Structure formats: C-alpha cells, structure tokens
A and B are shown apart, each in its own frame.
Chain A
Amino acid sequence: MSSNAITIPGTQIETRPWVDELHQWLATVDHKRLGILYIVSALLFLAVGGVEALIIRIQLMHSHNNFVSPEVFNQMFTMHGTTMIFFVAMPILFGFANYLVPLMIGARDMAFPRLNAFSFWLSFLGGLLLYFSFLGGSGLYGAGSAPDVGWWSYAPLGARAFSPGHSSDYWTLALLVSGFGSIGTAINIIATILCLRCPGMKISRMPLLVWMNLVMAGMVLIAITPLSAAQIMLLIDRYLGGHFFDTQAGGSAVLWMHFFWIFGHPEVYVLIIPCFAFMSEIIPVFSRKPIFGYPVMVAATVCIAFVSMSVWAHHMFTIGMNSYANSFFTLTTMAVGVPTGIKIFNWIGTMWGGRIQFKTPMLFSIGFLFQFLIAGLTGIMMAASPFDWQLSLSYFVVAHFHYVIVGGILFALFAAFYYWYPKITGRMLSERLGKWHFWLFLIGFHLTFDVMHIPGLLGMPRRIYTYEPGRGWDNLNFIITVGAFIQALAILVFLANLVISYFKGARIGNDPWDAWTLEWSISSPPPAYNFATVPTVASRRPLWDLKHPEDPDSRYE
C-alpha cells in the first residue's frame, strides 16, 4: 500500500493533441474509461429521453391540446420508454459496475477488456440505431418515422401489417444488438468477480456492491436473453414470413406478452439491484457504521433474484388468465416484498444509532429509502389481481413504475454520482449545487409522480394523446407538467454541477468520505494500472483495518 503515491501528473495528459486523446478514448479497453464512456453516453440519452418526456407532458398539460400530433405522441412515449430503460438505465449501471467492481476487488481490469469494449460499442451503437429510425424509419422515402407501438411492441402491432416501413425493425435490431452487449458485459462482470479477486477477498468479504452486481449479472444472463429470442422471432415474422405472433395463422399474441414480460419484469430488478448496491455502500459510510446484516443482505438479494423470475405475468392480469395463474402471480409478486422489506430494514438498521452526515449522497439515499418504500407499496397494491383489473393501463401504473425508476433508481444513481465523482475525476461535486439539485428534484418528483396517482384512480388511461375537458383531470395534469419542468431544471443544475466541478471543484485526496472499500486506497482519479501493488484483504472493510490497526475488523471475523 505504500506505493499509492504514484500518480500520473494531469499536465502530461493535457499536452497530447486532441486527435490522439480522442483515439485513446475510442480504442480504449480500460475498464475505467469504458465505465466513463458508458456513463457519459447514458447521460446523453438521458437528455434526449428527458426532452421526449417533456414533450409528452406539454401535450397532456390541458385537455384538447395540439402541441404534437397523435402520431408524434405515440413515437414520443415509445422512444421515451425504450431509451430510458435500454440506453440510459442499463448502460449507466453497467458503467458504474465497470468502473467500480475491479477497483473494489483489487483487480487490474475486467476479466476480458476487449469483450468489455465490444459490449460498450454494441450498446451505444444500438442506441444510435434506434435514433436513426427518425431518419430511416420509412425506408428513406423522405419522411422518416420512429417506432410508435409502445415499448412493449405488443403483437400484432409489431407485425408488418400494422408497422409498415422499418420503424419496428430499428426498434428490434437496436434492442437485439444492445442485448448482446448486455450479455457480454454480464459475462465479463461474473468472470471478473469470480476469477480476479485480490488475495484474501473471499466471497464472504466482498463489498455488497460487488455481491449485488454479481447477482445482477446473473439475472441479465437469464432475463435479457428471452427478449433477444423474442426479437429474433419477431424478425423471422417480419422478414421471412414466419407466423410466431401471427394470429391469422394460429400464432399467439399472448405468447409475445409472456416472452416480453419474462424479460420485462426481471429487468426491473436488474436495474434496481445495482441501486441497492449503491445504497449498501453509501449509507454505511455516511452513518459511520458498518452495514447492518451483511449475510442477510446477500441472501435477500439472491432471494429477490429467484422470486423475480416467477412474477412476470402480473403485467398480464387483464388479458384473462385462469384463476390459478392469477393467484400464483399475485402471491409470488407479494412475496418479493419480503426480501425487499428486509433490505429496507437493514438500511434503517445501519442508520440507527449512527452519526449520520447529511452530505448530498446521503440526502439522495434517504430520498431513495422513502420513495422506494412507497413505490413498493403501490406495487403490492397492484399485485392483487382484482385491484389490478381496475387500474391496469391507467396513470396509476405509470405513477407506480416511475416511482420505482425515478424515485428509486434515479435517486440512487444521483447518490452514486455525488459519492464516486471525486474518485473518478479527482474533484468534489459542489455541495451547494448538490443541495439545490436534491431539493429541486425532490419537489419536482413529488409534484409529478405523487399527483399522477390521482388521475389514474379517476380512470385516466395511459398512452392517450389528449382527453376531454370536464373530467377533473385538467388541473392534476397541469400540476404534473409543472413538476416535470422542475425536475428538468434540477437535471440542468446537476449537469452544470458535473461540468463546473470538473474544472473548478475542490481537489481532494484519495479518500474524501473516510470510506472503507479498496477503491479509496488509490489516487483520484486512479492510475491506469489501478493498484501499484496487489492489495491483500483480511476483512470486509480493508481500509478500516488500515486506518485502525489497533482495532481491525479482521479480529472479529
């Protein structure tokens, strides 16, 4: 550990010609650079998907609005959903996994650096392919069109008869290509964690972030592949005249729904488990206590992964399954709440009696805890199939899953940004802008998504481009739109913070938060080789052992 002082001076890098620098980034196989590429490309898509969300919200601001045509509205919600799930949430979480997992286990790089680069470029070019549909969707006849059949692309809407031109092909191919990228990354994460841990880093000593990313990668292998298989079937239908989802030839539209949701529901957990991982690293550090119930956290994560594989048809209660299927999927869905509840109690148990520091990462973490709990509770409500029959396909559902994705995943991601930005760039994010970001986003989020439950309960269906006046939806929708713009403002503050702090942020040492995992033992930003000497680990908190040789954790293991 003594040779940690080795750093590459920043000036040395800046004097290279920019073409050289660009080439370094494009051809890189370094897990840290690829992690940053993942994160930055995801932020670009976040901006695009955010603009699409704002267009949706402006159109719905009041009844009989004519801001966009129905066709464009359909394209907007399709592209918004597809972009945010496949080209924002997945890549940004893969980016953090890429950056952090090797550092946390004391490795030089990922197990397969070139596969890593290949996977990133597959995902990124998949995103560009999706957006090329705006130009090439109608086959270059001049007027292009993006996919407009919803992010589920339910059969038969995805079939040739209902999606002429190439818009659905761009959607299919983009998801297929990025899906292969995801599988490559998942294999890489698993191989890295199982094969490259530094000496002493037993599987029972891995940081929880590493554990949860291992579970997430395992889920990707099983959950993303059904989508890839279904996309291949859709391509066979569209190009070779197959009949998989062609009801006129005896095919089944419901089978597509099953295949999609066998992917779609585990996908939610693929996204949320890395966020649990962020929480499990950040909350202990800012509570100044080790995580409460480490083995139970691991068991709960694995349990969630297993149970979440058998809940998919709760998205399909309204298509008319028999009562056994309804009961089964109601019960399994409610069962997911148990391990998830264990996790929430463990995080609260970690904070309990701790000396909590209300820095920005911790603020976002506390926001996550509250909002994820509420999101889970509305999820339990809709797990009851009779309740779901009333509210499926309404704005209540939209409010619920945005509560998970924005209130849960995005808040956890912001916490991760504020926590690891100093490690990645060597500079702190501004606390003042961070507080502005947090409070603006919190207010905007609750204004939008708390209120959004109500029009759902009043019967407002999702995916409608406008509505009649006099139903009591106007004021609510107006408030939702105002909230959306406050959130957009908060995102601008965040992006400004990222840029300003990169140049003006306080320079900080290796370990600004006094944390306990290995990535804080090396310089910020880490050198290309990560660790000058391979560290040896004797407990779950190696840096605690280093800082407190008189009372190391290893004594109690």
Chain B
Amino acid sequence: MSAVTTSFPKTAAAWDLPSRGKVAMAGLIIAESAIFTIFVVAYLFYLGKSIAGPTPSEVLETPIFYTICLLSSSLTIHLAAKALERDYARLFLAFWLLTIALGGLFLYGTAQEWHRLIYDRGLTISTNLFGTTYYSLVGLHAFHVTAGLIMLSVAAIFGFAGRMGVSQSGRVAVLSMYWHFVDAVWVVVFTVVYVLGR
C-alpha cells in the first residue's frame, strides 16, 4: 500500500486501508468457523443417539493438562509477536519455540488419548455414532493444530536463519491470528465434547 499512498501525497494522510493479510485471515477464520459449526452441530445432534457403546461418559477423560498447554500457547505467541514488533529477534525466537513446544505437547496429548481409546477401549471412527462424530470433530481440530505447527515451524526456521525482524512482524501477526483461532476452537470443542457431551 505504500506505493499507492506515496504517489498521492495530498491524500496520503487521509487514505489508510486495512492490511490485506489480516483481512484475508479474518475471512479464512469466518469460513473455518462455519465448517467447525457444522461438525459441532453434528456432534451435539448425535449425542446419545449411538445404538451401541461405548458412550462418552464411559471412555472420555478430560485432558486438562494438554488444554492448559494449548491455551497458554496463545499467550506465548502473543508475546512472541509483540517481541518481534519491538525487533527483539532472540526473545521472539524463544517465545516462538515455546509456542511450538506447547502445540506439539497438545498434539501428543491427542495422540495419547486416541491410542488409549482405540487400543484399550475399542472405540474407532466406525464403532458407533459417538466414535464417528468424536474423531471427526477432534480430528478436524488436530488437523488445524498440525497445519498451524507446520507454519510456525517454517517461521522458526527463518528465525534461526536470522531472517525474522520487525519487517516480518505483520506476517507473524497474521499467523498468530490463526493460532488464536485454533485455540478458540479448542475452547468450543472442549466444552462440547468433554463438558456438555458427558
């Protein structure tokens, strides 16, 4: 946008448009929210409609520790983005890696839980309606965490290469919007699956 505003100095002060990256990410978040809404509706609609067991109350355990991990990663990514805005590259990298670690820990928690459900409890996606809706909803979220972690890791590689400075803070802010969204979705999924669903 700088090119546009500089070629029109008389309107430069008055002409300020939003950043395209943030607008686009907001659009993506709206679209993704609609997708998640449909999966949440399906989960709630099918609660207690399974013909055969196991039921949610029999097999689900509340993943409090891993939830704390994921939610606190929102704080660390925010601190990382703020650090980059002030051009503290090393501090940024530290918080950034902490975010990746917390996200990775959350994914490990999901993997643990799925392993326990599949091998100990015999619940797979085709066992009953609960299995179908549970693995779809939690899996869709885990897929978004994975996608986020890949993008965070790419940014971390650039950070190690010394390429992350204040000039990249706009892009990092867009990425952190996505990560906050993934965390917010988990609040909904957690409430639906582990609180209301049992």
Contact = CB atoms under 8 A, between A and B. Distances in A.
B2 interface: no
B27 to A, nearest CB: 4
Nearest to A248: B51
A102 B37 CA distance: 32
A183 B35 CA distance: 12
A188 B31 contact: no
A226 interface: yes
Interface in B123-143: 125-126, 128-129, 132-133, 136, 140
Interface in A181-237: 183, 186-188, 190-192, 194-200, 217-218, 221-226, 228-230, 232-233, 236-237
Interface of A is mostly: helix
Given A222-B30, A244-B132, A229 B35 contact: yes
Given A194-B17, A221-B31, A229-B38, A242 B136 contact: yes
Contacts of B32: 225
Given A200-B11, A244-B133, A250-B49, A194 B23 contact: yes
Interface string A83-103: 000000000000000000000
A191 B20 contact: yes
Interface stretch (A251-259, A287-295, A407-415, A467-475): A251-259
A240 interface: yes
Contacts of A199: 4-5, 8, 11, 14-15
Interface in B54-104: none
B171 to A, nearest CB: 13
Given A221-B31, A244-B133, A534 B8 contact: yes
Contact of A241 (B42, B125, B140): B125
Contacts of B51: 249-250
B18 A240 contact: no
A534 B128 contact: no
B168 interface: no
B126 to A, nearest CB: 3
Interface in B1-31: 1, 4-5, 7-8, 11, 14-15, 17-20, 23-24, 27-28, 30-31
B118 to A, nearest CB: 13
A111 interface: yes
Nearest to B14: A199
B24 A111 contact: yes
B141 to A, nearest CB: 13
A243 interface: yes
Interface residues of B, number: 38
A394 B5 CA distance: 58
B35 A255 contact: no
Nearest to B136: A236
Contacts of B35: 225-226, 228-229
Nearest to A236: B136
Contact of B27 (A191, A228, A259): A191
Given A187-B31, A259-B38, A533-B7, A233 B136 contact: yes
A112 interface: yes
B191 interface: no
Interface of B is mostly: helix
B4 A250 contact: no
B27 A186 contact: yes
A111 B27 CA distance: 13
A399 to B, nearest CB: 31
- The residue among A195, A255, A534, A536 with the most chain B CB atoms within 10 A of its own CB is A195
A161 B45 CA distance: 24
Nearest to A111: B20
A195 B42 contact: no
Contacts of B17: 194-197
B128 A249 contact: yes
Contacts of A112: 20, 24
A187 B28 contact: yes
A251 B129 contact: yes
B194 interface: no
B34 A190 contact: no
Contacts of A252: 45-46, 49
Contact of A250 (B8, B18, B19, B129): B129
Contacts of A241: 125-126
Interface string A359-398: 0000000000000000000000000000000000000000
Contacts of A236: 125, 132, 136
A196 B19 CA distance: 9
Interface string A427-461: 00000000000000000000000000000000000
15 contacts: A190-B24, A194-B20, A199-B14, A222-B31, A225-B35, A225-B38, A226-B38, A229-B39, A240-B126, A241-B125, A249-B50, A249-B129, A250-B46, A252-B45, A252-B46
The 6 closest A-B pairs by CB, nearest first: A241-B126, A229-B38, A225-B34, A187-B27, A242-B132, A195-B20
Given A192-B20, A249-B51, A255-B45, 4 more contacts: A195-B23, A230-B38, A241-B126, A250-B51
Interface of B: 1, 4-5, 7-8, 11, 14-15, 17-20, 23-24, 27-28, 30-32, 34-35, 37-39, 42, 45-46, 49-51, 125-126, 128-129, 132-133, 136, 140
Interface of A: 111-112, 183, 186-188, 190-192, 194-200, 217-218, 221-226, 228-230, 232-233, 236-237, 240-244, 249-252, 255, 259, 262, 533-534, 536
